[in-house]
């Protein structure tokens, strides 16, 4: 847990116990002009130490994996995940460990967990294709293998695997197409000649099959054997198969390196629209565009939408990439127009990762015949990942049972995704992190089950602080506070609310603390007072009672302001007098009716101050009552960024993730 930096009290206090009483009982930190509270350094160091320990543990697990000790490897990976639920490679290796143990269903669950915390790519689709193949769900397996190739058509092994599955299922022409591509890229893959020959032989392309086996006759024993038994009576004199080359599309090049730089470009440009963040709109957008051979972006459209504001953000960022493409797509070295689909995800990260495999819940709904809940849950799942074909199959049955038509995620949708005649790029997610943080009644970071409030905001990993607008809510969804941080400083309006929705306070910050005219309101919406703030000092401009009658006339009147501490356990009351617009006489601070401090003024000039604790009185030489009384204490507390000691250290791992540690995981 972080140790917050306490405010440096800028006046002398000779009695430390009295100072502690003021600091702990009032629960307020006296605010200076430039100091912000940060308590993350120790917490960050603990997380980094834990990460280093997990890296060592991962190497142990990987060694077990490489020695085929898969059960021991899984134990190591489980320990890592329990400590750090964002450790991608632990899930990845754990998934393959279950695969080698032939527990394909569990392997599938683990790979879904892995890619719940990482951007989906070709490996995600390939692994799911493998697992569904082993589960003998061949339609789903081929769907994911098609997507794996569409996401990464330069991985020849994917063609070989898919070709083998097509061959096994009797889809001989599809198998031949895959083998043609393989051999056009590498004509020395002699085992492929054998498989292609089998496919051709089964569709009566006898000479072509024998020609394949003859080509690899001296390199492959199976080819030699099959040629001997099947082709000795076949006359191949003068027979030549058509040589095929350049079957694969050459991908366009972005910024002189690769299309992966396009993903980084988009991730850096992308912002989470504030209205979407505060409405908790999240999911995956699929955007399609044509990159012409003249390197122009045309035909931009949203295939899978989340909301208007998010769609507009995605389209604007895609448009901005024009001018950075340096080479068009090519086929047989001839420039061509190419259609491209980019998945762009908007996720609000929070302490709890939804790692429960929702397919289990769907199966339970299916068994109980709860088809309405199936539709609701599958809509949520497909909103986050519209590629989930296995989810579609269950959803399709639910719609049929209810005699309804699925106009959004029907069979045509998934057929379009797998047969798309273009290329996919890796999923992109903004580097500008959107987060949902939970706070307890002390405004310490806590988990969801112990929370009294939550905050929606963006998070700056470089500064370990809030970035941009935030909104705080009570757990029942009532808005509590909103404001903006910029470069670690409070910026613009901070507004707090009563439970009835009326504004409680409206205070303005410029350079974190200077801006005049801070306003307080009664619960019925009428104005309570307006003050002008200048650093620590403030001056009363207007003050009214509950009926709207002025209590400050021609610069004369009594100032009265009360508020609760952040625990709502202590009532703090401040009173004072103005004469001809100047502070005069004694300004007093009470806690629960007990006088604890006062400042003495003569014509707006501070004379002396006093702290009172029982019979003890301590003189102070600078004012204690200042503009800090108007700043909601929950704002100050959340700037400390202290974690509730009762929750697990890993709960807010995602706040500390940096690009080096997490944004570029490598599945091995």
Q: How many domains does the chain have?
A: 3
User: Is 73 part of any domain?
Assistant: yes
pLDDT at residue 17, as a whole number: 39
Identify the domain containing residue 542 by its residue range.
Answer: 497-639
User: Is 396 part of any domain?
Assistant: no
CA–CA dist 50, 461 (Å, integer): 18
Write down which residue in 306, 325, 350 finishes a domain: 350
Structure tokens given for 194: 């054998």
pLDDT at residue 649, as a whole number: 63
Task: Give the other-Cβ count within 10 Å of 618's Cβ.
Answer: 18
Task: Give the other-Cβ count within 10 Å of 137's Cβ.
Answer: 16
pLDDT at residue 658, as a whole number: 47
Same domain? For 186 and 123 the reply is yes
CA–CA dist 467, 609 (Å, integer): 38
CATH number of the domain within which 125 lies: 1.25.40.10
pLDDT at residue 544, as a whole number: 95
Same domain? For 75 and 215 the reply is yes
Write down which residue in 201, 230, 259 finishes a domain: 230
Same domain? For 296 and 224 the reply is no
**Global pTM?**
0.83
- Cα 47 to Cα 80, 84, 252, 650: the distances in Å are 13, 9, 40, 8
pLDDT at residue 97, as a whole number: 97
Task: Give the other-Cβ count within 10 Å of 195's Cβ.
Answer: 23
Write down which residue in 350, 370, 387 finishes a domain: 350
The residues, any chain, with a CB within 8 Å of residue 277's CB and separated by 6 or more, are: 348, 434, 456, 457, 458, 469
User: Is 507 part of any domain?
Assistant: yes
Same domain? For 313 and 214 the reply is no
User: Is 95 part of any domain?
Assistant: yes
Same domain? For 215 and 272 the reply is no
Determine contact, residues 214/235, Cβ cutoff 8 Å.
Answer: no
How does DSSP classify residue 643?
A: B
H or E segment to which residue 455 belongs: strand 453-460
User: Is 17 part of any domain?
Assistant: no
User: Is 555 part of any domain?
Assistant: yes
Helix (H/G/I), strand (E/B), else coil: 25: helix
Same domain? For 206 and 267 the reply is no
How does DSSP classify residue 448?
A: G
Same domain? For 96 and 210 the reply is yes
Same domain? For 57 and 164 the reply is yes
How does DSSP classify residue 101?
A: T
Burial of residue 95, with CB atoms counted within 10 A of its CB: 0-12 exposed, 13-18 middle, 19 or more buried: buried
User: Is 503 part of any domain?
Assistant: yes
pLDDT at residue 94, as a whole number: 96
User: Is 218 part of any domain?
Assistant: yes
Same domain? For 207 and 315 the reply is no
Planar angle of CA 391, 377, 415, nearest 5 degrees: 30
Determine contact, residues 61/80, Cβ cutoff 8 Å.
Answer: yes
CA–CA dist 47, 661 (Å, integer): 11
Same domain? For 171 and 261 the reply is no
Same domain? For 52 and 196 the reply is yes
Residues in the chain predicted with pLDDT less than 50, given as ranges, are: 1-42, 355, 512-513, 658-668
Same domain? For 136 and 252 the reply is no
């Amino acid at each position: 847990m972080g140790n917050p930096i306490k405010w440096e009290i800028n006046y002398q206090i000779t009695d430390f116990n009295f100072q502690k009483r003021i600091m702990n009982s009032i629960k307020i930190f006296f605010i200076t002009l430039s100091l912000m509270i940060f308590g993350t350094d120790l917490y960050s160091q603990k997380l980094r130490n834990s990460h280093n320990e997990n890296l060592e543990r991962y190497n142990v697990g990987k060694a077990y994996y490489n020695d085929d000790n898969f059960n021991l490897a899984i134990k190591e990976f489980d320990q890592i995940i329990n400590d750090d639920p964002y450790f991608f490679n632990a899930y990845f290796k754990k998934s393959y460990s279950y695969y080698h143990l032939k527990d394909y269903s569990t392997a599938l669950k683990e790979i879904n967990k892995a890619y719940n915390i990482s951007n989906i790519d070709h490996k995600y689709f390939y692994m799911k294709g493998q697992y569904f193949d082993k589960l003998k769900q061949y339609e789903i397996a081929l769907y994911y293998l098609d997507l794996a190739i569409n996401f990464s058509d330069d991985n020849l092994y994917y063609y070989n695997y898919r070709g083998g599955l097509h061959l096994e299922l009797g889809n001989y022409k599809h198998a031949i197409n895959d083998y043609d591509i393989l051999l056009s890229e590498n004509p020395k893959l002699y085992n492929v000649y054998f498989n292609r020959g089998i496919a051709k032989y089964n569709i009566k392309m006898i000479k072509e099959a024998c020609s394949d086996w003859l080509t690899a006759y001296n390199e492959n024993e199976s080819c030699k054997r099959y040629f001997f038994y099947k082709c000795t009576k076949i006359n191949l004199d003068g027979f030549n198969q058509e040589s095929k080359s350049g079957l694969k599309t050459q991908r366009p090049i972005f910024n002189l390196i690769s299309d992966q730089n396009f993903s980084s470009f988009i991730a850096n440009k992308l912002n989470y629209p504030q209205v979407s963040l505060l409405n908790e709109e999240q999911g995956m957008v699929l955007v399609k565009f044509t990159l012409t051979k003249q390197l122009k972006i045309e035909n931009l459209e949203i295939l899978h939408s989340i909301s208007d504001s998010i769609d507009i953000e995605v389209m604007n960022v895609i448009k901005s990439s024009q001018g950075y493409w340096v080479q068009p797509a090519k086929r047989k070295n001839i420039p061509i127009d190419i259609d491209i689909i980019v998945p762009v995800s908007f996720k609000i990260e929070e302490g709890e990762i939804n790692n429960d495999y929702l397919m289990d819940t769907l199966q339970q709904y299916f068994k109980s015949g709860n088809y309405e809940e199936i539709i609701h849950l599958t809509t949520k799942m497909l909103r986050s990942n519209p590629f989930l074909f296995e989810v579609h199959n269950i959803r399709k049955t639910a719609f049929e049972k209810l005699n309804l038509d699925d106009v959004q995620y029907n069979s045509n949708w998934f057929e379009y995704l797998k047969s798309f005649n273009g290329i996919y790029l890796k999923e992109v997610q903004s580097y500008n992190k959107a987060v949902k943080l939970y706070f307890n009644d002390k405004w310490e970071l806590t988990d969801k089950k112990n929370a009294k409030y939550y905050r929606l905001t963006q998070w700056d990993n470089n500064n370990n602080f809030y970035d941009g607008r935030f909104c705080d809510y009570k757990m029942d969804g009532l808005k509590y506070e909103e404001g903006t941080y910029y470069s670690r400083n409070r910026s613009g309006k901070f507004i707090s609310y009563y439970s009835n929705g009326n504004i409680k306070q409206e205070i303005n910050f410029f350079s974190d603390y200077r801006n005049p005219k801070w306003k307080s309101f009664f619960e019925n919406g009428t104005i309570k007072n307006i003050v002008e703030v200048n650093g620590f000092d403030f001056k009363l401009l207007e003050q009214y009672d509950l009926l709207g009658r002025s209590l400050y006339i021609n610069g004369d009147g009594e100032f009265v302001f009360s508020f609760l501490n952040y625990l709502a356990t202590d009532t703090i009351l401040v009173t004072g007098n103005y004469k001809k617009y100047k502070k005069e006489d004694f300004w007093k601070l009470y806690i629960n009716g007990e006088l604890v401090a006062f400042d003495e003024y003569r014509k707006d000039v501070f004379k002396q101050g006093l702290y009172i604790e029982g019979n003890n009185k301590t003189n102070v030489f600078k004012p204690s009552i200042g503009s800090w009384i108007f700043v909601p204490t929950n704002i100050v507390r959340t700037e400390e960024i202290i974690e509730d000691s009762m929750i697990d250290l890993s709960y807010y791992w995602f706040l500390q993730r940096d690009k080096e540690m997490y944004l570029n995981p490598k599945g091995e």
